[in-house]
Amino acid sequence: MLPPVTSKANLTAAVLAVGLCALGLAWVLEPAFVPDSLAIRLGLLAAGFAVALGSYLLLNLQSSRDHDGSKEYLEALVRIDPAQSTPETIVESLPDVPSGHPLAEGFARLRECFLMLAEKLSSAEHVRAGVEVRVRRLTSERDQFQDILAGLSDPVVAVDQHGEIILANASAQNLLGVQISADEHPAIEKLDRCQELISLLTETRRRKAASHRQGEVALADSEGRQSWYKINCRALAGATEGAGERASHGAVAVLTDISGLKAIQKRNAEFVSAVSHEMKTPLASIKAYVELLADGDAEDEATRDEFFRIINGQADRLQRLIENLLNLARIEAGVVQVNKTPLSLNPLLMEAVSVLQPAAEQKNMKLVSELSTLYLGVLADRDTLLQAAINLMSNALKYTHPGGTVTLRSRLSDQEVIFEVQDTGVGLSPEDCQKVFEKFYRVKKDKEMAAGTGLGLPLVKHIVEDIHRGRIEVESELGKGSTFRVVIPGIAQISS
């Protein structure tokens, strides 16, 4: 099928029409000039048909060439994939169109459109690649954030501006009994195990300005163990709904386990209470006897001497209490002056025996030494270790009835040096054995046997464990006595 007639085709048709008109005119006018010239007329007619036929063939040939060129160009355009092509490959893939081609201008515009489309697709591809990189980075950061949250031991809970739980790590789900997923966000009321948490989150979420609220609450875990938690609640950033209207935001709460801190606070309170009680007794006694002396109630010398003796004894008790407290405080704070030197344990223990021998004789008790014949070398602070040995033997003498025996032993076990104090006293129950090293703890049934502050054994424990890196053990049976055993590293073990 030929393409529509172009300007060249019109020109060819005009030439053909002029030629035919000329032949027709010659056919009509020729007899007037040349009579009876049939041959000439036939020749003119044949020439006219030849001109017409030649013009038609010439027009047909030109149209066929234009059609073939257009078809080739269009086929090349169809084969172009803009998504897989660059402007350079598009230019290379398109055939050249002669400048005189009737569709050259249209094809040029098509090529420009394809080039522009390829450039835009190339730019879009660069943008898409950048977006994919950012998406992968954000996905990686989200996964890391989720892993961090899952690994936190502190429960973390977050709610959105509608009061729905959007985040709860594993610790929070286990503690509060709430489950969330990507498809389901339960309401804040599901945190019914902790009403204090609901209140803090709700108040923080509803406040107009971003706020920070705190609270403390006791919660029981799945096994029934109760722990104390400090709740830190902060507002999450949100969008402002309009001028003069409240901002809409969520809230996040972090629960920190403060059970250890609560236990320390409780022990400190008990410590202060015990110290106050221990100090109040001698102070009250001193004050009472001073008032008696001031009022003249001591009429004779013997009574006054008795009052002075009691006052002096109570003052000594108060001094021992203060000294023990100071020693404990120094050891716990790590500021006690420690001078460790290599020394033999047995001479130190014999010195402790000589210090307490008069007290044993006064109570009609035997103080026996069964020390090892081997050299027991230790790296120790002499003064504190001597104090520990004296405290243990003094405690044994206090809680052993007259006529009883206190035995001091020493020995070497592998690379450890051991000394122990065994008595035939009243003994301890299993419960007392666990608490006897606590500050101010005194066995109730034995309080009347001897005065004390309840700080001697705790001081020994600190000296052995904190200063000499050893351990102290106790074995006891009610009515049969107790054995306190101190184990500290020998010099050979320290050097190895």
pLDDT in tens, the chain (496 residues): 334 444 555 555 555 555 555 555 555 555 554 554 555 555 545 554 455 555 544 445 455 555 555 666 666 666 666 555 666 666 666 666 666 666 667 667 767 776 777 777 778 878 888 899 999 998 888 888 878 877 888 888 888 888 888 888 888 888 888 888 777 788 888 888 888 888 888 888 887 766 788 888 888 876 778 888 999 998 887 655 544 455 567 888 998 888 888 888 887 776 777 677 667 778 888 888 888 888 887 778 888 888 888 888 888 878 877 877 777 777 777 666 778 899 999 999 999 999 889 889 888 999 999 999 999 999 998 888 998 998 899 889 988 989 999 999 999 988 899 999 999 988 888 888 888 888 777 776 666 666 666 778 888 898 899 888 999 999 998 888 999 999 999 886 554 4
Element (H, E) at 343: strand 340-344
Q: Which two tokens stand for residue 395?
A: 């405690």
Question: 188 with 199: CB under 8 angstroms?
Answer: no
Look-up of token digits 């006052």: 311
**Domain 263-333 in the same topology as domain 152-237+248-257:** no
The structure's pTM equals 0.47
Indicate the SS3 state at residue 127. helix
Q: Which residues contact 441 (CB under 8 A, 6 or more apart)?
A: 435, 454
Q: What are phi and psi of 250, to 5 degrees?
A: -100, -160
Look-up of token digits 């009472």: 288
Q: Which two tokens stand for residue 297?
A: 């109630």
Look-up of token digits 């790296």: 379
Q: What is the spatial distance between Cα 110 and Cα 95, in angstroms, rounded to a whole number?
A: 13
- In this prediction, residue 92 carries a pLDDT of 62
Top CATH class, 263-333: mainly alpha
Q: What is the spatial distance between Cα 154 and Cα 150, in angstroms, rounded to a whole number?
A: 10
Q: How many residues does the chain have?
A: 496
Q: What CA–CA distances, in Å, run from 3 to 17, 59, 63, 64?
A: 21, 11, 7, 8
Q: What is the spatial distance between Cα 231 and Cα 237, in angstroms, rounded to a whole number?
A: 19
Q: Which residues contact 475 (CB under 8 A, 6 or more apart)?
A: 433, 482, 483, 485
Q: What is the spatial distance between Cα 440 and Cα 279, in angstroms, rounded to a whole number?
A: 12
Question: What interhelical angle do 7-33 and 38-78 show, nearest 10?
Answer: 180
Cα 30 to chain center, whole Å?
116
Local structure of residue 448 (DSSP, 8 states): T
Question: 218 with 175: CB under 8 angstroms?
Answer: no
Q: Which two tokens stand for residue 112?
A: 């420009």
Q: What is the spatial distance between Cα 454 and Cα 167, in angstroms, rounded to a whole number?
A: 51
Rounded to a whole number, what is the largest CA-CA distance in the chain? 197
- In this prediction, residue 424 carries a pLDDT of 92
Element (H, E) at 17: helix 7-33
Q: Which residues contact 237 (CB under 8 A, 6 or more apart)?
A: 210, 249
Local structure of residue 464 (DSSP, 8 states): I
Local structure of residue 185 (DSSP, 8 states): -
Check residue 229 and give left, alpha or beta (phi > 0: left; psi -120 to 50: alpha): beta
Helices assigned H by DSSP within 190-300: 195-206, 259-294
- Residue ranges per domain, the chain? 7-79, 152-237+248-257, 263-333, 340-495
- In this prediction, residue 205 carries a pLDDT of 82
Q: Count of CB atoms within 10 A of residue 398's CB?
A: 18
In this structure, which topology does domain 340-495 adopt according to CATH?
Heat Shock Protein 90 (3.30.565)
Q: Count of CB atoms within 10 A of residue 127's CB?
A: 10
Domain 152-237+248-257 matching CATH 3.30.450.20: the answer reads: yes
Cα 266 to chain center, whole Å?
28
Q: What is the spatial distance between Cα 173 and Cα 150, in angstroms, rounded to a whole number?
A: 10
At position 440, the amino acid (one-letter code) is F
